[in-house]
Chain A
Amino acid sequence: MANVGIVLISHSSKVVAGIQEIIQQVVHNVPIEIAGGTEDDEIGTSVEKINNAIERAYSEKGVLLFYDLGSAKMNAELAIELCGYDHVKVINAPILEGAYVAAVESGIGRTIEEIEEAVQKITKE
Chain B
Amino acid sequence: MKLGIQEVINWLEKTNEKIQKNKEYLTSLDQAIGDGDHGINMSRGFQEVIGKITSTSYNSVEDLLKDVAMTLLSKVGGASGPLYGTAFLKMSVSVKGKEAMDKQALENALEDALNGILQRGKAQLGDKTLVDVWTPVVELFKNENVVESFSLEEISRNAMESTKDVMAKKGRAAYLKERSIGHLDPGSVSSHYLFASLAEVLKEGEE
Give residues in A with beta carbon < 8 Å to B: 11, 37-39, 42-48, 69-71, 74-75, 77-78
Chain A CB within 8 A of B82 CB: yes
**Among the listed B35, B75, B79, which residue makes an inter-chain contact with A74, where contact means beta carbons less than 8 Å apart?**
B79
Min C-beta distance of A38 to chain B, whole Å: 4
Chain A residues contacting B19 (CB-CB under 8 Å) are none
Which listed residue, B73, B77, B86, B121, touches A42 by the CB 8 Å rule? B77
A48 engages B120 (CB within 8 Å) = no
B171 near A75 with CB under 8 A, answer: no
With a cutoff of 8 Å between Cβ atoms, the chain B residues found around residue A39 in the complex are: 74-75, 77
Q: A38-B77, A42-B77, A48-B74 are in contact. List 6 more A-B contacts (CB 8 A).
A: A43-B37, A47-B73, A71-B78, A71-B82, A75-B81, A78-B85
In the complex, which residues of chain B have a beta carbon less than 8 angstroms from the beta carbon of A75? 81-82
Contact A45 B121 (CB under 8 A): no
- Interface residues contributed by chain B, number (CB under 8 Å): 20
Does B172 sit within 8 A of A, measured CB to CB? Answer: yes
A43 and B73 within 8 A (CB): no
Cβ–Cβ < 8 Å partners of B120 in chain A: 74, 77-78
Specify the chain B residue showing the minimal Cβ separation from A76.
B82
**A69, B77: Cβ atoms closer than 8 Å:** no
Query: Is B196 on the interface with A (CB-CB < 8 A)?
Result: no
List, in ascending order, chain A residues with CB within 8 A of B12's CB: none
Question: Does B83 make an interface contact (CB < 8 A)?
Answer: yes
A74 to B81, CA, bound (A): 9
The answer on a CB contact under 8 Å between A71 and B79 is yes
List B residues 117-147 near A (Cβ within 8 Å).
120-121
Residues of chain B within 8 A of A78, CB atoms compared: 73, 82, 85-86, 120
* Bound Cα distance from A43 to B83, whole angstroms: 17
Q: Could you pull out 28 A-B pairs where Cβ atoms are within 8 angstroms?
A: A11-B77, A37-B77, A38-B77, A39-B75, A39-B77, A43-B37, A43-B77, A44-B37, A44-B41, A44-B81, A45-B77, A46-B74, A47-B82, A48-B74, A70-B79, A70-B172, A71-B78, A71-B82, A74-B79, A74-B82, A74-B83, A74-B120, A74-B121, A75-B81, A75-B82, A77-B82, A78-B73, A78-B86
